[in-house]
Amino acid sequence: MSRLRMTVNGRPVDLDVPESRYLSEVLRKDLQLTGTKIGCNEAECGICTVLVDGTPVVSCVYPAFKANGTQVETIENLSQDGELHALQQAFLDHGAVQCGICTPGVIMTAKALIEEKKAAGEVLTEEHIAVALKDTFCRCTGYQSISRAILLASGQDVPPLIPVSQPASHSIGKPMPNLQARDKITGEARFTDDYRFAGMLYARTKRANIPHARILSIDTSAARDLAGVHAVLTHEDIPGRNLHGVFITDWPVLCADKVRYAGDAIAIVAADSEEVAAAALDLIAVDYEKLPIVSDAIDAAKPDSPLVHEDRAEGNLLKHIKVIKGDIAAGFAEADTIIDQTYRTPATEHMFLEPECSIGVPAGYSPENFGGICDAAAARGETARHDKTTVYVGSQIPYGDRDQVAATLGLEPESVRIVATLMGGGFGGKEDITGQIHAALLAEKTQRPVKMLYSRQESLLVHPKRHATVIRIRTGATRDGKLTAVEATLYGDGGAYASLSEKVLTRASTHAAGPYDVPNVKVDCFAMYTNNAPSGAFRGFGVTQSCFAVESNMDRLAEQLELDVIEIRRINALDVGSVTSTGQVLRESAGLQECIDLVEQDMRDDSFRWTWEEGNKRFAWGLAVAYKNTGLGGGAPDKASAEVEVWPDDSKGTTAEVRISSAEMGQGLPAVLAACAAEELGIKASAVNVLLGDTDFCPDGGPTTASRQTYVSGNAVRLAAADAAARLEAEPGTPVVVRHDYMAPETKPLGSGGDMHVAFSYCAQAALCEIDMDTGEVSVKKIIAAHDVGRAINPLTLQGQIEGGIVMCIGYTLTEHYIQEDGVPWTDVLARYKIPSIRHTPEISNRIVEHQTSAGPYGAKGVGELPSIPTSAAITNAIYRATGVRMRSLPVDQDELLRAMREQNTEVEMAWGDRKPIPKVALGGEQ
C-alpha cells in the first residue's frame, strides 16, 4: 500500500491503496465515482475514458500511480449545482444517449476535444470529431447524433435531426429525450456493477474452456479451503431444476455429466474479493474425457456426427422448420429465369458495451447486519431490507428470469424477486440466463449479497451469438420480373443449447421469400445443435440472415432480366391485399411501395449516377428492402400488463406513474410509454414517471424482443391510462390505480395458414459505397432509407434506432465475425472483434413512412430490428455494381475482393474468418 495523491474533479485526494491498482479501479471502488464505466479492461472500447491533466486516457490500463500528482476529471465533474454542461444538454437534446453505458467516456473525450479546439482558435469539424472519437465506441446510436451534439456544444448551430412524421397530437409524435437520459449523462445512472451492498461477496464461474467432453470428476476441496472463499457450488448443490432455457430448458445451470461448449459452467465461487474468487477457480480440478467435436451445422446433420445431446431421438436436429405455399414445382415451371445460389452468414456478437452483471441478495437480508445503513422506507437498493431472494440484473426478460431462478432454487416464483437494473445494451444478448441463477444460489448459500460480474472476455465466451447460416435460395420469375417461386434451404448453427434457435430460424424461414408476394414458396430450415456457442436472439432474429440471401438473389434476377433493381422490387413488393409466404393476407398497414418510392426519389437527384470512378476509387449504389414482424406471433400469447396510477392535482398539476416489467436497453421505451399515458390522461409526458422492471411492483410486460414493446406494452399502458382517465372523469380529484392486462390480437402457428403476425414493418435502404481499387477496402459513404413504422410515437428516439440499426448492420457486413475454430473461440478478446467506430458511419438520410396498423397504439408498429436488416445486401449489391464481384459470404474481406477484381472472378465465397468454401446444400435437405 502506498499513498496516492492527486486531484479528482477539483478535490484533493489522498488514498492508501495498493500500487497494483488501475486508475479506473481507484475511481470506481476507492472513490465510489461509478460514472466511469468498464467495457472491456483491454483499452479497446474507450468507454472508461477520463481526463488526466486535460488529456483523454483509457483508465482501465492506466496505472493509478501514474496519476500521482495529476488532475483527474471524470463525468461527475461536468454538471455543477444541478446545471448541465453544454455537452450534456446537447446530448440530451439530440437523443445522443441511448443505453448510456458509453456516454461518460464519449462525453469526456468530446470535452477534451472541444476545449483543445477552442484553445487553438479552430472551428470544430466533423472530421475532428471522427478522429478524436475513433476509439471511443458506441453500439446503440450509430454516432450521428453524437457528432451533431458535439458540434452544437462547440457553439455551432446544429439542431437535432428530427425526422418528419405526422403532426403530433398531444403527446404522440412529439420528440422527447428518453427518460433516465439525464441520469446517464451526469454519471448518476447506475448499472448493476455500480451497486455495492454491505457484506457483498464476489463470484466467478469455472468454465469448461473445451468444446465437448464428459466430466469424470470435479474436485473443489482446495478451492473451498482457500482463505476468503465462502462457497464453492457444483451441480450437487442445486436444490431444484438444474436446467434453464428461455424456451426449451436444455441448458445445465452447472454441468454434471458433460460439457457441450467452451463456455459451459461447472462450478461457481463466492469470495471476499474478485482476486480470491479468481484464485479459487484455478484450484478447482476437473477431470475430462474429451469427446469428438461437431462444429458445423451441415456436418451436424450427417448420420455419423458426434451427438451434442445424446438422449435426443432426433440427434443433432433441433427442429426442421417448413414453410409451404402453393405448388413449388409448378411455380418453377412457370418461370422464365431461375437464380440458384448459396450464401453464408457468420456468427456475430452483440457487443453490448456493458458486460453482464447479476447481484443476488438472500431472503431476509438486512444491510445493518453487515454494517450498512438500513432505510425502512427503501423499496429496493442497498439500503433496503430484502424479504425475498432477489436478483438485480439488467435483463430483457425480468419475469422469465424470476421463474428460472425460482425453478433452480426450488422456490415458488412469487418467492423470488427480480429488480431490473439499467441495461448497457442488449440487442437480444441479454435474454438468456447468464449470472442470475448462479448469483442467487451463492447468495442463498452464503446468506450474503453476491455480485457476479462477467469480464468482457467471459461475456464473449458465454452468451449466445447470432446464428451462423448457410442458405441456398432458388428464385424463379417470369420475363416481366414477377416472382413465381422461391425455394430456400437453410442450415442454422444453433450451438450447444436450444436458446431461441427454433424461433429465430422460424423467423428466418417465414421471411425467406423476402417482402414479396410470391405465389409458390417452399422453405426447409434445419436448426442444428453443434459444439459451438449457443445461438439465440440477436436484433433481426434470423431475418438479418435470410434477407442477405434473398436480396442478393433479387439483384441477380434483375440483371438477368435486364430490369432496374428498384423496379423489380416494386413489381413484387408486398402490399395491402398480398398474401405472405405463410398464407397471411395483409389487410392493412403495408407501406413498402411508399418506402421504395421515397428512396428512389431521394437517390435520383439531378446528379444521380448508379456508378462512377474517381481516381483509384469506384463508387456505386446498391439497394435492398426488408420487412419484419411486430410481436411474437406464431400463436404465442403476446401479452403485457401495465399499471397506471394517477394523482390528480389541479394546482400543482396532475402526475402519474406507469409500472410495467418491460426492459429498457436504450431503445427509448420509457419515453414511449410516458407519451401513451400522457396522451390518454391529457397531461404532459414529463409529468409521467415510468417504473420498469421490478417483479414485486410491476406487472409483467413480457420480454423485450420481437420489436414488440411499443405495440404490446404501449397498448397495455394506453388502455390502462384511458381507463384511469375515464374513472377520473367520473370521480375527479380521487387518485386512481388501474391495471390493464392486454393481449395482442391472436395469431396462428406456422403451417396453419392463418395470420402469423399482428403486423409487419417495412423498409427500403440504398447504400452508396466506395471501393478502393488498390486495396479492396469498402467504405459506406451514404445511406438513403425509408422505414414504415405505422406511427412515430417519439421521432427523436426513432431516429436513433434507425441510425444505430443501420450502423450495426454495417458491422455485420464489413467488420464483425465471431470466429470459432472447431468449437474453440478464436474471438476470445475484444481486440479480435471490431464493431463499427465513428469512422465507419455514413451520412444517413431517412424518411418515416406511417401506414398505421389499426390495433397498434396510435397505429404504431415495431421498429427495433427492422433498420438493421437490409443494409448488408444493399452494400454487397453496391459492391457488385462497382466491381462486378458478388460477395456471397460476410463479412467482406478486402483481400478476397481485390483478388477477384484482378482475376475477373465474379463470385467470392470466402469472407473474413472463413476457413473453407461454402458447403453444398441440397434443396429440401437430403444430403
Partner 1 sequence: MTNSSANRWQSYYTPKSVAEAVDTLQRYDGQARVVGGGTDLLVEIRRGLHRPVEALVDVSRIPGLDTIEVDDDHIVIGCGVTHSQIVRDARIIEYGTCLSESCSVIGGPQVRNVGTLAGNVAHALPAGDGTIGLLALGGEIEIAAADATRWIPMQESFRAPGKSFIDRHREVLTRLRFKPTGPREGSAHHRVMRPQGLCLPIISMAVRLKLEDDDTISNARISMGPVGPVPFLAEAAMEVRVGNIASSELFDKTAEAALASVTLRSSKYRASQEYRERMVRTFLPAILKRASERSRGARL
Give the footprint of partner 1 on this chain (CB under 8 A).
2, 18-20, 41-43, 46, 49, 55-58, 61-66, 68, 109, 131-132, 134-136, 204, 274-275, 278-279, 281-282, 455, 457, 774-775, 777, 814-817, 819, 826-827, 829, 831-834, 840, 891, 893-895, 898-899, 902, 912-913
Contact call for residues 437 and 408 (beta carbons, < 8 A): yes
Q: 483-497 burial, b if ≥16 CB within 10 A, otherwise e?
A: bbbbbbbbbbbbbbb
766: three-class secondary structure by DSSP? strand
**Closer residue to partner 1 (CB): 600 or 770:** 770
DSSP β-ladder status, 337-345 and 778-788: unpaired
DSSP β-ladder status, 258-259 and 416-420: unpaired
Residue appearing with cell numbers 414458396: 521
Tell the smallest beta-carbon distance from residue 51 to partner 1 (Å).
10
Please state, in angstroms and rounded to a whole number, the distance separating the CA atoms of residues 5 and 912.
Answer: 48
Contact call for residues 143 and 104 (beta carbons, < 8 A): no
Tell the smallest beta-carbon distance from residue 613 to partner 1 (Å).
17
Tell the smallest beta-carbon distance from residue 20 to partner 1 (Å).
4
User: Which residues share a beta bridge with 180?
Assistant: none
**Closer residue to partner 1 (CB): 279 or 673:** 279
Q: How far is CA 830 from CA 41, 58, 59, 428, 671, in A?
A: 9, 15, 16, 19, 32
**Closer residue to partner 1 (CB): 45 or 763:** 45
**Closer residue to partner 1 (CB): 109 or 581:** 109
Tell the smallest beta-carbon distance from residue 895 to partner 1 (Å).
4
Tell the smallest beta-carbon distance from residue 783 to partner 1 (Å).
17
Q: Grid coordinates in use for 471?
A: 442458405
Q: How far, in whole angstroms, is CA 888 from its chain's centroid? A: 25
DSSP letter assigned to residue 169: -
The H or E element spanning position 486 is strand 483-493
**Closer residue to partner 1 (CB): 7 or 337:** 7
Tell the smallest beta-carbon distance from residue 532 to partner 1 (Å).
17
**Closer residue to partner 1 (CB): 22 or 516:** 22
Tell the smallest beta-carbon distance from residue 821 to partner 1 (Å).
9
DSSP letter assigned to residue 585: B
Tell the smallest beta-carbon distance from residue 56 to partner 1 (Å).
5
> What's the CA dihedral at 15, 20, 25, 26 to 10 degrees?
10
Contact call for residues 806 and 868 (beta carbons, < 8 A): yes
Tell the smallest beta-carbon distance from residue 120 to partner 1 (Å).
10
Tell the smallest beta-carbon distance from residue 815 to partner 1 (Å).
5
Tell the smallest beta-carbon distance from residue 275 to partner 1 (Å).
5
Residue 669 amino acid letter: L
DSSP letter assigned to residue 687: G
User: Which residues share a beta bridge with 602?
Assistant: none
The interaxial angle of helices 894-903 and 871-883, nearest 10 deg, is 30
**Closer residue to partner 1 (CB): 380 or 899:** 899
459: three-class secondary structure by DSSP? helix
Residues in the chain: 927
DSSP letter assigned to residue 710: I
Tell the smallest beta-carbon distance from residue 68 to partner 1 (Å).
7
Please state, in angstroms and rounded to a whole number, the distance separating the CA atoms of residues 285 and 275.
Answer: 18
Please state, in angstroms and rounded to a whole number, the distance separating the CA atoms of residues 74 and 635.
Answer: 50
Cis geometry, peptide bond prior to residue 891 (ω within 30 degrees of 0): yes
Tell the smallest beta-carbon distance from residue 831 to partner 1 (Å).
6
**Closer residue to partner 1 (CB): 601 or 775:** 775
- What angle (nearest 5°) sits at the alpha carbon of residue 536, between those of residues 534 and 537? 160
**Closer residue to partner 1 (CB): 43 or 579:** 43
Please state, in angstroms and rounded to a whole number, the distance separating the CA atoms of residues 488 and 717.
Answer: 40
**Closer residue to partner 1 (CB): 2 or 906:** 2
> What's the CA dihedral at 182, 429, 549, 497 to 10 degrees?
-170
**Closer residue to partner 1 (CB): 460 or 554:** 460
**Closer residue to partner 1 (CB): 115 or 236:** 115
**Closer residue to partner 1 (CB): 109 or 165:** 109
